[in-house]
Chain A
Amino acid sequence: MGRYLIQRFGSMVVSLFFIVTITFILMQLAPGGPFASEKKIPPEIEQQMNEKYGLNDPLHIQYFNYLKDVAQWDFGPSFKYTGQSVNDIINRSFEYSLLLGLESIFLALSIGVFLGVIAALRHNTSVDYTAMVIAVLGISVPNFILAAALQYFFAMKLGVLPVARFDSFLHTILPAVALATTPMAFIARLMRSSMLDVLNSDYIKTAKAKGLNERVVTYRHALRNAIMPVVSYLGPLVVAILTGSFVIEEIFDIPGLGAEFVNSVTNRDYTVIMGTTVFFSALLLVSILLVDLLYTLIDPRIKFGKEGGKS
């Protein structure tokens, strides 16, 4: 296990190195000056700013400096928000995103698994069909359209939930639902088909034949095995939640990292773009590693070092 971890960690570092390099190159290729200003900055002042941020140094020096900083988890200063560092921005906004993300993951998992299971148990009944219609619709409606619709009906028309912002649990409901729906639908479908597979398998039939209680069979034996594909979907789930947060946080005015990233893109705040990209990638690599570990942990058939659940 130790060796496996080291190996995985090593390949993570390599991936991150490439990601840092690629984003650095991309941002160098980006057109337009780095300093946002509502009016034209006189040249002597612009020159002084370039000097301050080391933008006059040769490219390779800038690159190595950046690598060195990133290795120390320092993403440099924001160009737009003077006196604030990219780390400050990530630190303050990530907790909102994490909170929203966890709530969405929780919703997607619990409702998705639930729908999938009852659809499988009531195979080819109206329950099954209803669950699958919900799932297909969930996949077909883009999250930002759903978000706008939810906001319109529940906050503006009915006034039962807050329109936006992130001040209390009530505020989190609409964005979390909007974010969770698509992955929830995927999980429901995944769960349903894997549950059907398992229910038709011999050992379940044997267990039933032995006269075991239906509930015990379903929940202790079938569910435990049927949930494996859902566990391997956790990686893509994290990605879906993460990228979904770009628009959802915009729509619901949540000062999270997704909104911050989109903001930095519109402001062309290059250090923030690079910092958030690297952070997102690192986050993703870590969560995929965690999912793989989890997978090996709960499925004794999978051994360390073998192909795990990859996104």
Chain B
Amino acid sequence: MKKFNKFLLFSLIASLVLVLAACTGGDDEDTGDNGEETGEETGENTGEDTGEEAGGDSEQVLNVNIKEEPPSLNPGLASDTTSSSVLDQVFEGLTRIGPDGQPVNAMAEKIETSDDLTTYTFTIREGATWSNGDPVTAQNFEYAWKWVLNPENAETDYAYQLYSIKNAQKAKAGEVSLDEVGITAKDDKTLVVELEQPTPYFLHLTAFHTYYPVNQNVVEGNDEWFTDAGDTFVTNGPYKLESWSHKDKIVLKKNEDYWDAENVSIKTINMFMVENEDTALNMFNQGELDWVGSPFDSVPLASIPTLKEEGKLNISPLAGVYYYAFNVDEAPFNNKKIRKAFAMSINRKAIVENITQGGQLPAMALVPPTIWEENEEGYFQDNNVEEAKKLLQEGLEEEGMDELPPVTIHYNTSEAHAAIAQAIQDMWRQNLGVEVDLANEEWQVYLDTMGNGNFQVGRMGWLADFNDAINFLEIFQTIGGNNYTNWENEEYASLLEESRTITDKEERTSVLKEAEQIFMDELPISPIYYYTNVYIKKDYVKDVKPSAMGSINLKYGSIEK
């Protein structure tokens, strides 16, 4: 920023001089000339100042765009993908999601599980240190997790990620004291965690940023330790936060003291914050960025066909589903057959091929194929207009209606959502002969509208927190939370509850499958497509791949120019 102050001062003086010259003007030959000279001077000045920035270690430097200022670099507070794409590089949890998508030991050297799968004992790695030299201890984890669960600490949106731990939810609600939460540091290196129920995906969770430790020594008593790079921003991951120029750029440097430092190749990561996707793509084309797209930002829609033709586009599956929620309390969606008719008359293939274009898969089920491969097929046939018309007729008869009332599609403001809504509007209009209106609102307003049930059909999406079917199915266990449909089903709920007690993997899956079958039969939502990671990268960027959870581990990557 220093260079700017200088530049600023120059410009300020130049402009003031100019304005005054122009106003009292006349003594000079021509105001224009005078001004231009001043302008050039200023220009040279900045030019020189910026020159140095481009230099540095040109090898093993990765330039990415994280699009926006990360809302929070406190792992306990962060609740968005931008923040986590930074946090995942600078912090490390007990486990880390490895290149094959399975958790591998990270801060934990050894993990023991009790037979009933409800107690986990983690042994912290010898030699695991914080960037300020302190050793990473079991107490650091206990402190960080309990800090999140402390009812006095607001803004911990993602506290519920810890709710698998015994008494965690009760503690957050203030019903029990933090001491009763199942997190105990037995000694400096041993952390014992008790869970509410068997949680087969718990080691996936411990890789998530809400489960990261923080260094109690620097964090305690300092509410702003995470707002800037510097002495208080102490981390334990493969990278250190070298600098953070807000709204502009974050620089990460390799942490040489990291326990696995010998396997970390990329030395510097420049994370630019370029909001405009087209600009980012241009910077990529000019060689200023090495990566554009998931999980950091997105590839501009309009460029996708060209990139695809050139064979530059990379696509990998993402565990998430884009869907339209029906409000089952609102006619005509109180009728199961009519809901089905609407769901079947959507041409998902046309949407993913022409609008989203990022290799997304048409979704005719709830749980994405990254979790259950067979769901690629789904429970019904895409774009089955014949069947839809038949179901509609039957549904109308059941309800004693002659024709469909007008229907309004709600969505939150975004170009992509608008395009999909307009496509579906057109499909329903043509296939079902129904009058369809569109209504859009900004996200927060939209959430209110949906939460109050003031909608008929509304767009929603769900990206997995962890790679397990339960994460999708439990959304709809009860009304409220993220289930806006007003749909509830006793059998469905009890199946989910049953699954929580089962320790056998296959048995659990089959119970969950049964639940999904009920769900797809009732169809309180119409799935549209499964998300994908869409990105382009320079050929010399190796071994970097976004995960199905939408996270990325640059630790494994390298640059081979």
| A residues with CB within 8 A of B | 31-42, 44-45, 48-49, 51-53, 80-84, 88-89, 92-93, 95-96, 98-99, 102-103, 105-106, 109-111, 113-114, 155-156, 159, 163-165, 167-170, 219-221, 223-224, 227, 230-231, 234, 250-253, 255, 259-260, 263, 266, 268, 294, 298
B1 neighbours in A (Cβ, 8 Å): 92, 95
Interface string of B9-31 (1 = CB under 8 A from A): 00110110011001111111111
* Contact residue among B29, B30, B276 (Cβ-Cβ distance under 8 Å from A164): B276
* Contact residue among A39, A106, A164 (Cβ-Cβ distance under 8 Å from B79): A39
Are A82 and B448 CB-contacts (below 8 A) given A102-B11, A110-B18, A113-B22? no
Bound-complex Cα distance A113 to B152 (A): 61
Interface string of B216-241 (1 = CB under 8 A from A): 00000001101100000000000000
B160 neighbours in A (Cβ, 8 Å): 42, 45
Asked if B190 is at the interface of the complex by the 8 Å CB criterion, the answer is no
Interface string of B440-456 (1 = CB under 8 A from A): 01111111100100000
B276 near A49 with CB under 8 A, answer no
A102 near B155 with CB under 8 A, answer no
A298 near B18 with CB under 8 A, answer no
Bound-complex Cα distance A39 to B482 (A): 7
Asked if B7 is at the interface of the complex by the 8 Å CB criterion, the answer is yes
A39 neighbours in B (Cβ, 8 Å): 79, 157, 482
Nearest CB on A from B482, distance (A)? 5
Are A33 and B447 CB-contacts (below 8 A) given A168-B46, A253-B274? yes
Nearest CB on B from A100, distance (A)? 9
A253 near B275 with CB under 8 A, answer yes
For A224, give the chain B residue with the smallest CB separation: B26
Asked if B305 is at the interface of the complex by the 8 Å CB criterion, the answer is no
A255 near B4 with CB under 8 A, answer no
B23 near A298 with CB under 8 A, answer yes
For B23, give the chain A residue with the smallest CB separation: A298
Interface string of B468-485 (1 = CB under 8 A from A): 000000000000011000
Are A32 and B444 CB-contacts (below 8 A) given A82-B72, A253-B276? yes
B442 near A81 with CB under 8 A, answer no
Bound-complex Cα distance A92 to B172 (A): 35
B276 near A82 with CB under 8 A, answer no
Asked if B95 is at the interface of the complex by the 8 Å CB criterion, the answer is no
* Contact residue among B155, B173, B246, B273 (Cβ-Cβ distance under 8 Å from A49): B155
10 nearest A-B pairs in the assembled complex, by CB-CB distance: A32-B445, A32-B444, A52-B154, A255-B247, A169-B43, A83-B227, A82-B72, A164-B279, A110-B35, A168-B50
Asked if B71 is at the interface of the complex by the 8 Å CB criterion, the answer is yes
Bound-complex Cα distance A263 to B273 (A): 13
A42 neighbours in B (Cβ, 8 Å): 159-160, 481
* Contact residue among A32, A82, A252 (Cβ-Cβ distance under 8 Å from B155): A82
B72 near A163 with CB under 8 A, answer no
Bound-complex Cα distance A221 to B8 (A): 33
A106 neighbours in B (Cβ, 8 Å): 11, 14-15, 18, 35, 39
* Contact residue among B45, B282, B447 (Cβ-Cβ distance under 8 Å from A163): B282
B80 neighbours in A (Cβ, 8 Å): 37-38
A223 near B26 with CB under 8 A, answer yes
11 contacts between A and B (CB under 8 A): A33-B447, A35-B155, A45-B157, A102-B12, A164-B279, A168-B47, A168-B50, A169-B42, A169-B46, A224-B24, A230-B22
* Contact residue among A81, A88, A227 (Cβ-Cβ distance under 8 Å from B23): A227
For B484, give the chain A residue with the smallest CB separation: A40
A38 near B79 with CB under 8 A, answer yes
Bound-complex Cα distance A252 to B12 (A): 22
Taking CB atoms and an 8 Å cut-off, the chain B residues in 148-204 that contact chain A are: 151-157, 159-160, 172-174
Bound-complex Cα distance A220 to B86 (A): 61
A113 near B32 with CB under 8 A, answer yes
Bound-complex Cα distance A32 to B15 (A): 43
Bound-complex Cα distance A267 to B42 (A): 36
Bound-complex Cα distance A227 to B152 (A): 62
A220 near B26 with CB under 8 A, answer yes
